[in-house]
Amino acid sequence: MFPLNPILVVEIFDVWDINFMGPFPNSFENLYILLVVDYVSKWIEAIACKSNDHNVVVKFLKENIFACFGTPLFVTPRTPRKTPRPNTWQVRTIHPSIHQTRSIILQISLQI
């Protein structure tokens, strides 16, 4: 018999999955696309950016996610450069086995 695993019950805009796409050919000095997807509604927020580091993610979260949707309960980063940062917003980081942005990145990549 399989062990019981608790189910994470979340509301809309409580969990966000973060991922970078790229590098792409240079366009107005932008090489990457930062893709942030709500875990429940699949709402997508994206920007073109010059680098794929944590500074871009922090700025984007503060200006586009926290300001519009409030502070989420969890974020699931899939960034290539994971650096420990002080958690000033009291947001927990989770690493689920299935990430929401994988299928969305595949769909977007097929259209590019």
Query: pLDDT tens digit string along 41-82?
Result: 999 999 999 999 889 988 999 999 999 998 888 887 765 554
Q: Is position 15 within any domain?
A: no
To the question of pTM greater than 0.75 for the whole model, the response is no
Check pLDDT > 60 for residue 36: yes
Higher pLDDT among residues 18 and 81, named by residue = 18
CATH number at residue 93: 3.30.420.10
Q: Judging by beta carbons within 10 Å of its beta carbon (0-12, 13-18, 19+), is residue 75 exposed, middle or buried?
A: buried
Q: Is position 3 within any domain?
A: no
Phi, psi of 13 (to 5 degrees): 65, 20
- Residue listed under structure tokens 């990457």: 32
Q: Is position 9 within any domain?
A: no
Residue 3 has a pLDDT of 80
Q: Is position 10 within any domain?
A: no
